[in-house]
Amino acid sequence: MNVMEQNTMIQPDWSKVAEVELVYKTKVKASDRPLIKTSKDCYQTFLKVWDENKMEMQEEFKVLLINRANRVTGVYEASTGGITGTVADPRLILAAAIKGLAVGIVLGHNHPSGNLKPSLADEQLTAKIKTAASYHDIRVLDHIIVTPDAYYSFADEGLL
């Protein structure tokens, strides 16, 4: 058997795979976390975590992770795009929600134009994430379109 034949017979070592570790760490007391009761609470929380210098410049997509007590346990920055759009990956959003032990999530993105009307793509993405989240017993509580002066709530408008 020559060297070429020996090399083709070497089997890959499948035991050399990435280690996956699930960790949840917090330094914030439960009572200090933002409480979400209304769409306005969602909007105000998003305003606190949004970079106001980018809100009218480029579209971003963020997710509030919500626990059973309707407290925000974390914010996941799902994507940053350009002037007219961004691509949010539902798999990454759900991975963040699961890892963050969320029972609910609030989706949020900004429209740099200031237009509060959701696009068809916004509506389709919301429906897709809602369906996928339901398989993990995670509720999509709302989807907020954020601008510096106002917001649009999918829940308030009956789109959820």
Report pLDDT digits (tens) over 28-85.
Answer: 887 889 999 999 999 999 999 999 899 999 999 999 999 999 999 999 999 999 888 8
Determine the pLDDT at residue 15: 66
Determine the pLDDT at residue 27: 81
Q: H or E element: which one contains 133? A: helix 120-134
Buried b (16+ CB within 10 A) or exposed e, 22-49: eeeeeeeeeeebbebeebebbbebbeee
